[in-house]
Structure 1
Amino acid sequence: MTEPRGKRQNIMTENSISLSTHNGIVIPDNWAGYNLDVFSLPSHYCEDLECVFIPHGVIEDRTERIANEIMKDLGDNHITVLCVLKGGYRFCTDLVEHIKNLSRNSERFISMRVDFIRLRSYCNDTCMDEMQIIGGDDLSKLSGKNVLIVEDIISTGRTMSALLSHLGKYNPKMVKVASLLVKRSDSNNGFKPDYIGFEIPNKFVVGYALDYNEHFRDLHHICVINENGKLKYKV
């Protein structure tokens, strides 16, 4: 296994990365990530990144495990998957594909349809006070339905709490939330999704469809943006 950056963490061990049923894979504050030069990355981004924080293969394996948990909990139901764009599309696509594969080979079956919603809650690297819902289909179609919201990252929890409150007006039968990442932050309101990929420190991460002002979505891995990148792509 390739050694991560920094001297504080030499390898991923049980003492450094832990698995919690409720928090997913918990990455500690002192996790230094991996050197950029041992991964394939777009050359135009290399000066703008601090490290590879979560490699793509680890994301894929964790996503498959979440699909297994969803199958156990929601099998034999029809669910509407509500993908939060734009950052959630990679995670949602992979998660839905894993659920489909599991469903084909299981006695329990999940019938799914996918809808999309777009939220805006960040300007540069700062979370805004109010959530903006941009576009999306008529949410009244969710009345009486089982809904699985698929999100890329939850930081303060305010955006997701506001979305759940908004969806509640349409009286869905059940709502579950799956988030690839949950960020530890002093400003977090305590909201926890039902399914979590990784709990991460309070770092601004990009890649795997997560962006910084529409840049970095094409990165295969989840990386930490550096100050040079923030300044270069600031709006």
Structure 2
Amino acid sequence: MQFSDVEGDLSEVLLTQEEIHEKIAVMARQIETDYAGEKLLLVGVLRGAVMVMADLARELTLPLEMDWMAVSSYGAGTQSSGVVRILKDLDSDLQGRKVLIVEDIIDSGLTLSWLLGNLRSRGAESVEICTLLRKPDAAKVEVDVRYVGFDIPNAFVVGYGLDYAEKYRNLRGVAVLAPHVYA
């Protein structure tokens, strides 16, 4: 889906598909350097991280495995509730593994802070975070994020995996959703 397909629903384009792919390539080179000679487990956070995870995994040249976890703190709203529920757990044993959580966006940090603690408690050797987007102005807890694609304003964004009511995930870039859509 192109921006022009839903332009009446968007108030501002933040990132194009090309900008996103360039940044993912830069992050992949740093991850390859940091994990040279290691076997990495990418843990994608469903559903939003699907696009980021797929593009990052294809860009990486080191051995890796992938697994998926679904957690929720949003429901159908636009603000995190702070109460985390596991909707789909990992299939992989994390004992002694190097884990890289792949996220689409970090805003409040509440869900990710919980997820970090959860995965570390499973015996992983290390757990780091890679996110395409971060909203520094929305942070409620500090989370150490090793790889950040873009810092963005505290606005409701859609596209590239991010949704509103399960719409806009297939938008090829990231844009601010116009308030009239979710008001």
TM-score of the two chains, using structure 1 as the length reference: 0.74
Q: Does 1:94 align with 2:55?
A: yes
| Structure 2 residues not aligned, in runs of 5+ | none
Q: Distance in 2 between matches of 1:149 and 1:114?
A: 10
Q: What aligned pairs does 1:157-168 form with structure 2 within 5 A after superposition?
A: 157-168=109-120
SS of residue matched to 1:76: coil
- Summarize deviations over 1:133-172 as a string: whole Å, max 9, x none: 1113345x11111111100001111111100111122110
Q: Does 1:85 align with 2:46?
A: yes
Counterpart residue number, 1:196? 148
| Contact kept? 2:100, 2:128, Cα under 8 Å | yes
Counterpart residue number, 2:36? 75
Counterpart residue number, 1:4? none
Q: What aligned pairs does 1:85-124 form with structure 2 within 5 A after superposition?
A: 85-99=46-60, 103=61, 110-122=62-74, 123-124=76-77
Q: Which has the larger radius of gyration?
A: 1
| Structure 1 residues not aligned, in runs of 5+ | 1-38, 104-109
Q: What aligned pairs does 1:129-168 form with structure 2 within 5 A after superposition?
A: 129-138=82-91, 141-168=93-120
Larger relative CO (CA 8 A, sep 6+): 1 or 2? 2
SS of residue matched to 1:95: helix
Q: Distance in 2 between matches of 1:42 and 1:230?
A: 19
- Structure 2 counterpart of 1:191, which letter? V
Q: What aligned pairs does 1:1-235 form with structure 2 within 5 A after superposition?
A: 40-41=2-3, 43=5, 45-99=6-60, 103=61, 110-122=62-74, 123-138=76-91, 141-231=93-183
* Runs of at least 4 residues off by over 6 Å: none
Root-mean-square deviation (Å)? 1.6
SS of residue matched to 1:143: coil
- Structure 2 counterpart of 1:98, which letter? E
Deviation at 1:98, TM superposition (A): 0.7
TM-score of the two chains, using structure 2 as the length reference: 0.93
Deviation at 1:187, TM superposition (A): 4.2
Q: Distance in 2 between matches of 1:187 and 1:71?
A: 28
Counterpart residue number, 1:7? none
Matched length:
182
| Contact kept? 1:47, 1:229, Cα under 8 Å | no
